[in-house]
Amino acid sequence: MTVILFAIPLFFLLIGIELYADCKKKTGYYRTNDAITSLSAGVLSRIVAIGHQLIPFTIYALFFDAVAMFELPQAWWVWVIAFVAYDFFYYWNHRLGHEMSILWAAHVVHHSSEDYNLTTALRQTSGAVFSWIFYLPLALVGFTLEMIITVGALNLVYQFWVHTQHITTLGWMEKVFVTPSNHRVHHAQNRIYIDKNYGGVFILWDRLFSTYMPEKKEEPVVFGIRGALKSFNPLWANLQIYSQLAKDSYYTRSWTDKFRVWFGRTGWRPADVSERFPKEKLPLSNFRKYHPHIHKSVTRYSLLQHVIMLGAALYFLLNLDSLSGMQQMAIVLTVVVMSIQNGFILSQSKLALALEGPRLLMFPLLWIASGIGIAAWCFALSSVVGLVMLLFAVRYSNYRRPIEEVRLSTEPENLA
């Protein structure tokens, strides 16, 4: 967690540089709505991780104490081996995350973006509850919990920079490391690219286990998933596949299939459910990005609220130890509600926009009542500015154009 916290300023600096390059070159790799959703999903992931990561860390420590053959020293060469070994098990964790339905239900969040830029790297799941199982062999051979947490964080930080379209191929690095080019392949929904390039830092594992595929000029990558999310709600991004699996498990008549739905191959559905509730997959040539058009005043309001939400989340992460339970609940509730509200607003929901007025009044009062201090008054001041911008947003909220108008081309897209 500490490594990632220190990396956050670097993440946003690089996002700013890439956004500047995107505007300068007019490449259209950024859309405000999709970028906000990616960042919101990342924030929720970090906040949820504070709670649920205590369980796998505790299990790893207990497993280490019970079965470790010895404890490896803190020498530099042990750290290097730990880093490489972690990436090996990350490969299998990642691969099974694409091949087993219940694991895909958690991982799909990261692939649900239909854009590919540095904000996509932060679009992480809040529900990866089984990943820790893959790293238990490292405890068996003596890698300490501290070492695994650190190299795991470094592995995640490395993966940030490969989520860009502004870097083409990198020569010899393509043969050894995960690069932007071979990771773009991993995020593709093109049939020839699906289930390829699982490595976190090293692409060697994919070459070794026959899951490597280079990016082909004749097959431009189409980003996203075949069962498109069609939402900017980060909560629904986390629940989408779980919801589908639950429905299929409920409606199938076979008790065996009720279990297989969850642990079978990704995409598999019981025959009786497929017949009753068919899911049509359109040809990739018909794919259009989900892009509801809203007035610029609504976009500006949504962007302001997103920045305020990021500030609240950062305040929470930096001051976690000094906040009371009530204060933590107040901030977490604020971050979650603001993220979900923003998703609905960006999807043209007039009801969500109407509910913003009461939210802007109630949540600063909640912070003040919780005794959060000067941060509560800063939050209240930002809400006053938000109320002014909300008036303009509501005034133009009837401005609408059809959803799904973004073409698959190299033409730049309007950031609004």
Give the residue among 129, 183, 138 at the shortest CA–CA distance from 159.
Answer: 183
pLDDT surpassing 70 at residue 373? yes
Mean pLDDT of 86-112: 96
Q: Please name the helix (run of DSSP H) or strand (run of DSSP E) that holds residue 50, with its range, or none.
A: helix 32-52
pLDDT band at 402 (very low <50, low <70, confident <90, very high): low
List Cβ neighbours of 55 (8 Å cut-off, separation of 6 or more).
129, 132
pLDDT computed for residue 343 by the predictor: 95
Angle between helix axes 76-99 and 145-158 (nearest 10 degrees) is 60
The whole-number pLDDT of residue 401 equals: 57
Beta-bridge partners for 223: 188
Cβ neighbour number for residue 89 with a 10 Å cutoff: 20
By residue count, the chain amounts to: 416
Helix ranges restricted to H, 68-203: 76-99, 101-111, 118-121, 136-140, 145-158, 173-176, 180-186
Provide the percentage of residues in the chain whose pLDDT is more than 90. Answer: 78
Confidence (pLDDT) at 307: 96
**Residue 43's closest CA among 281, 306, 274?**
306
Least confident of 357-366, 386-395, 400-409: 400-409
pLDDT confidence band for 39 (50 / 70 / 90): very high
Please report how many Cα atoms fall inside a 13 Å half-sphere around the Cα of residue 415, on the Cβ side. 14
The pLDDT of residue 412 is above 80: no
**pLDDT confidence bin for 395, thresholds 50/70/90:** confident
Packing angle of the helix pair 234-251, 101-111 (nearest 10 deg): 150
Question: What is residue 202's predicted lDDT score, i.e. its pLDDT?
Answer: 98
* Average pLDDT for 111-140: 92
* Identity of residue 326: M
Residue 342 three-state SS:
helix
**Whole-Å CA distances, 184 to 120, 161, 190, 328:** 11, 12, 11, 37
**Which one, of 208, 210, 263, lies nearest residue 88 by Cα?**
208
Q: What integer pLDDT is reported at residue 409 of this predicted model?
A: 46
What confidence score (pLDDT) does residue 188 get?
96
**E-strand spans in 213-352?**
293-294
Does the pLDDT of residue 331 top 90, yes or no?
Answer: yes
Q: Tokens 């009837």 map to which residue?
A: 398
Displacement of CA 280 from its chain's centroid (Å): 26
Residue 49 has pLDDT above 90, yes or no: no
234-264: pLDDT as tens digits: 999 999 999 999 999 999 999 999 999 999 9
C-beta contacts of 144-152 below 8 A and 24+ residues apart:
144/64, 144/71, 144/72, 144/74, 145/57, 145/60, 145/61, 145/64, 147/72, 147/74, 147/78, 147/79, 147/82, 148/60, 148/82, 148/86, 149/1, 149/57, 150/3, 151/79, 151/82, 151/83, 151/86, 152/86
Predicted confidence band at 283 (pLDDT cuts at 50, 70, 90)? confident
Residues 6+ apart with CB under 8 A from 348: 292, 294, 400, 403
Phi/psi at 143 (5° precision) = -80, 125
Contact indicator for 27, 114 with CB cutoff of 8 Å: no
| Model pLDDT, residue 161 | 97
Query: What pLDDT sits at residue 400?
Result: 54
pLDDT-derived band at 4, boundaries 50, 70, 90? confident
Give me the pLDDT at residue 258, please: 96
Amino acid (1-letter code) at residue 158: Y
Contact 263, 101 (CB under 8 A): yes
Whether residue 403 has pLDDT greater than 80:
no
Closest CA to 46 of 107, 126, 153: 126
pLDDT at 12 over 80: yes
Average pLDDT, the chain: 91
Task: List for the chain the helix, strand, coil content (%; round to 5).
Answer: 65, 5, 35
> Which pair of tokens denotes residue 365?
């009062």
pLDDT at residue number 359: 96
| Per-residue confidence (pLDDT) for residue 126, from 0 to 100 | 85
Contact 55, 248 (CB under 8 A): no
Q: Does residue 406 surpass a pLDDT of 90?
A: no
What's the average model confidence in pLDDT over 204-215? Answer: 97
Banded model confidence at residue 195, pLDDT cuts 50, 70, 90: very high
Higher per-residue confidence, 404 vs 99 = 99
What's the pLDDT score for residue 1?
A: 53
